[in-house]
């Protein structure tokens, strides 16, 4: 079973690569880029390969065994 975590953002949106660093999935931008381009990140149930993809509240990000829901 995947762990679900709600994450509150204080801006209108956050970019996918920045989000992965912010929640400590990746240590650097290059790690985030590799993870995204390898197809290991899902956004709202579909694989997302655009690292600059804007994430807004209520979006669901799945990576490894975690699910993050933006608020």
User: What's the confidence (pLDDT) of residue 46?
Assistant: 98
Tokens describing residue 50: 């655009």
pTM for the full model? 0.92
Q: Residue 38: its pLDDT value, please?
A: 97
Domain count, the chain: 1
Per-residue pLDDT, averaged over 4-31, amounts to 96
C-alpha span between 5 and 10 (Å, rounded): 16
CATH number at residue 42: 3.10.290.10
Place of tokens 């762990």: 3
User: What whole-number distance in Å separates Cα of residue 16 and Cα of residue 3?
Assistant: 19
Boundaries of domain holding 47: 3-70
Instruction: Categorize the per-residue pLDDT at 24 as very low, low, confident or very high, splitting at 50, 70 and 90.
Output: very high
Number of other CB atoms surrounding residue 63 within 10 Å? 21
């Amino acid at each position: 079973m995947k762990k679900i975590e709600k994450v509150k953002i204080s801006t209108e949106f956050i970019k996918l690569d920045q989000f992965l660093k912010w929640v400590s999935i990746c240590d650097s931008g290059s790690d985030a880029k590799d993870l995204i381009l390898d197809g290991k990140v899902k956004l709202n149930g579909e694989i997302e390969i655009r690292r600059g993809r804007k994430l807004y509240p209520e979006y669901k990000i799945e990576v490894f065994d975690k699910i993050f829901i933006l608020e």
